[in-house]
Structure 1
Amino acid sequence: MSNKVYNVLFLCTANSARSVMSEGWLNMLGKGRFKAFSAGSHPSGQVNPYAITLLNEIGYDTSALRSKSWEEFEAADAPHMDIVITVCDNAKGELCPIWPGHPLTAHWGYEDPHGETEEEKQASFRKVFLQIKQRVLLLASLPDEKLASLALKDVVRDIGESKLD
């Protein structure tokens, strides 16, 4: 069993919901094999309260969560990323920085959670939250030999293309 911890950066434009929820799920389900982070190309400055509520429900400590720029992860003293995953179509199409070490990159697209009424917003956020969980579980369940091999690139991309309920 490998002792390597894989650093994963989830990117979305605003870094307010999908990327933050992805960070929380992977930190909860990654069994110490992953350390997840999130950032945005144009951070909103605040984490969406629906995302905070859902993460609190699974027991994730949200006290340190904040909406931040991906520029924080370009700094020389930033953690080295092994995997960078975009989670919204806007971020997928943006010109991303050249990350030190040339980490594996993939796109796991999710619809932008929304709704007219309170009930619709809650349902939309919960749906995306559970979709994120499905993909994170697939990543977290990969055996060490898959994570250590170059096949990881294809596996992570395949997870992003998987059908969601």
Structure 2
Amino acid sequence: MSDKVWSVLVLCTGNSARSILGEALLGRMGEGRIRAFSAGSKPKGVPHPGALRYLAANGYDLAAFRSKSWDEFASAASSPIDIAITVCGNAAGEACPIFTGAPVRTHWGLPDPADVEGSEEEVDAAFARTAKLLEMRISAFLALPLDTLSPTELRNALNIIGQMEGAA
């Protein structure tokens, strides 16, 4: 196994819910093997309150998360991205900018917990469900022999992971 740290960018339109959760979970579960980031094509400006409640309840430092544009990762001065994962159908269908590093791209579509209306408990349950689905995918991703897969093999494996339970 190499000492390579993989840079993974999780993308969604608003960068307030699914992509923020993906960044948090990838960073924690990747245990130094992954540098996780998130961004959106039309960022909301702030993470969704449900995402922040989930992160706080699970011991994350909330100051580490903000809603930002994917343009931050498309400039020549940006760190290279190895893998770009879209988690919403809108972002998957949009023309992404060219990211430094020519990342492997995949789609892990999930229902948007920010669309859930109801009590705070109902919203929080939707965020917990989305986090569980992301954890399943991230566990499968981290089990891959990343250092031995070609970009095509990696993309194919990531696409299969994207079809796991709860795929939208």
Tell me, yes or no, if the aligned pair for 1:31 and 1:140 is still in contact at 8 Å. Answer: no
The residue that corresponds to 1:149 in the other structure is: 150
C-alpha contact (below 8 Å) 1:115/1:124 kept by paired residues: no
Matched residue, 1:108: 108
Q: Count residues with an aligned counterpart.
A: 164
Equivalence map 1:1-165=2 (5 Å): 1-113=1-113, 114-146=116-148, 148-150=149-151, 151-164=153-166
Counterpart amino acid of 2:26? L
1:25/1:133 contact within 8 Å kept: yes
Identity %: 45
Q: Distance in 1 between matches of 2:19 and 2:25?
A: 10
Question: Is contact 1:8–1:35 with CA below 8 Å preserved after alignment?
Answer: yes
8 Å contact from structure 2 (residues 12, 19) kept in 1: yes
Any unmatched runs of 5+ in structure 1?
none
Q: Aligned to 1:37, what secondary structure does the other structure show? A: strand
Matched residue SS, 1:43:
coil
Question: Which residue identity lines up with residue 23 of structure 1 in the other structure?
Answer: E
- Aligned partners of 2:88 and 2:109 also within 8 Å: yes
Structure 1 pair 144–71 and aligned structure 2 pair: CA distance change class (3 A):
closer
Q: CA deviation at 1:97?
A: 0.8
CA deviation after TM superposition for structure 1 residue 144, in Å: 4.2
Runs of 5+ consecutive residues of structure 2 not aligned to the other structure: none
Is this contact kept in 1: 2:75–2:100, CA < 8 A? no
Question: Deviation per CA, 1:108-153, whole angstroms, max 9, x where unpaired?
Answer: 001011122222211111111111111111112223444x433111
Normalising by structure 2, we get a TM-score of 0.91
The one-letter amino acid of 1:62's match is: L
1:50-75 deviation digits (Å, cap 9, x = unpaired): 11121223322221211000000011
Measured in 2, the distance between the counterparts of 1:43 and 1:75 equals: 17
